[in-house]
Amino acid sequence: MVNAGYLAGFVDGEGTLTIAKRRRHSGRSIEYSVRVSISNTNKEILETIQDVWGGTLATQFPDDPSWKPSHDLIWTNAAAVAVLTQIAPHLGIKSSHAVALLGFQVHIRRCGRTRDAKGRLRPLSESPLEIREIFYRRLKRLNARGAKPPSSRPEAGSDMRAENSVETSRDYLAGFIDAEGCLAIAKVRDRSTNRPRYSGRISVSNTDRSVLDGIREVYGGIFVNRPPPRASWKHLYQVVWTGGMVGELLSKVGPYLRIKQPQVVVMTDLLLHMMNTKRRDNRTGYPRLSDRVLEFREGLYARMKELNAKGTFPPPTRPIRPTEKPDSHNPKNPEPL
């Protein structure tokens, strides 16, 4: 079951909280409505969320048939407010968005609307329209991409995120990783042996540093600050787990991941293979491994690369099977990760 913590993490990573603005076909008035949406190329996860949280599922097919279609799960007006009310205490990056939208809904309820003899809503007067336009522009600034938003004081009550339990925090991080994280296998060539080395790597990225600081405080990781190409652009921040940190993070969050569960399986295979492969030369930090061991790890590397392919459909592959058992089972002296 998709709970509020997981959905909040997914919304923080791949969601949009905004106010839609449109003019009625009759030209009678401008209307504003609350809109919450999440996007992903994995339709199955959106259908799973829809089964619990409702919403309308829409699909956009690209012109190039080799590219994956994009799917959107959308909530509007009352349905959007119902979802926001439950996930707002868990939101981090988009907590200010939630505050603005829920405040907008309070304003809507206070403004009574009347209808004409045909049941159509009468146009709004100038004052309510001005207030709704203020909310609309506020959300537009919060959703601005690339450029830094104008500085302003923190909005009252903007920190709506509750002190979650460990279980809820894992749900949130799982949703965030599924939406905006990456599980990968790094491949580098050892200069001394001229042979490849493989290692696990997990990362999450965002332009909101505070949320990543919160994740790192609980789950560790290495903080990376990537300066923007232009001074007016937002910084991109990243938390990265490598080496022994990968296995520790997977033990806590891996079971809660949904979209990236196939990547978890491949990563776990790599970590177990590395743990059970005996060192051949204890004098060096990275021993010379057999060709069969490297062949197996190269298969895991290729499979992970296919799973992480963006845009286009990855080619199907047969399940990976080791061509030989590790040289010996030696958990007391495992290969360094």
Domain containing residue 135? 4-142
Same domain, 211 and 117: no
Tell me the CATH number at 237. 3.10.28.10
Instruction: Please name the residues in contact with 147: beta carbons below 8 A apart, sequence gap of 6 or more.
Output: 232, 233, 234
76 in Cβ contact with 33 (< 8 Å):
yes
What is the dihedral angle through the alpha carbons of 188, 193, 195, 200, rounded to the nearest 10 degrees? -40
Q: Are residues 138 and 170 in the same domain?
A: no
Q: With beta carbons less than 8 A apart as the criterion, state whether 255 and 211 touch.
A: no
- Examine the domain organization and report whether 112 and 205 are in the same domain: no
Report yes or no on 336 lying in a domain. Answer: no
Q: Is residue 155 part of a domain?
A: no
Q: Are residues 267 and 193 in the same domain?
A: yes
Task: Tell me if 154 is assigned to some domain.
Answer: no
Same domain, 129 and 77: yes
- Choose the final residue of a domain: 86, 107, 142: 142
In a domain, 148, yes or no: no
Residue 93 located in a structural domain: yes
Q: Is residue 288 part of a domain?
A: yes
Per-residue pLDDT 10s for the chain (337 aa) are 899 999 999 999 999 999 999 876 665 678 899 999 999 999 999 999 999 999 999 998 888 877 888 999 999 999 999 999 999 999 999 999 999 999 999 998 888 777 777 777 777 778 888 999 999 999 999 998 765 544 444 443 444 444 444 444 799 999 999 999 999 999 999 887 788 999 999 999 998 898 999 999 999 999 998 777 776 677 889 999 999 999 999 999 999 999 999 999 999 999 999 998 876 555 555 557 888 999 999 999 999 999 998 765 555 554 455 444 445 444 444 444 3
Rg (the chain; Cα; Å): 24
Q: How many domains does the chain have?
A: 2
Residues 179, 134 within the same domain: no
Task: Single out the residue of 4, 35, 12 nearest to residue 22, CA to CA.
Answer: 35
Global pTM?
A: 0.81
Select from 142, 176, 210 the last residue of a domain: 142
Examine the domain organization and report whether 33 and 95 are in the same domain: yes
Q: Within this chain, do residues 123 and 174 fall inside the same structural domain, yes or no?
A: no
Please check whether residues 135 and 219 belong to one and the same domain: no
The C-alpha atoms of residue 124 and residue 30 are separated, in whole angstroms, by 8
* pLDDT in the model for residue 307: 94
pLDDT score recorded for residue 147:
52
CA dihedral angle for residue 49, residue 97, residue 159, residue 131, rounded to 10 degrees: -140
Q: What is the pLDDT of residue 153?
A: 42
In a domain, 235, yes or no: yes
pLDDT at 25: 62
Q: Are residues 222 and 94 in the same domain?
A: no
Residues 242 and 127 in one domain: no
- 135/195 same-domain check: no
Which tens digits make up the pLDDT trace of 265-305?
999 999 999 998 876 555 555 557 888 999 999 999 999 99
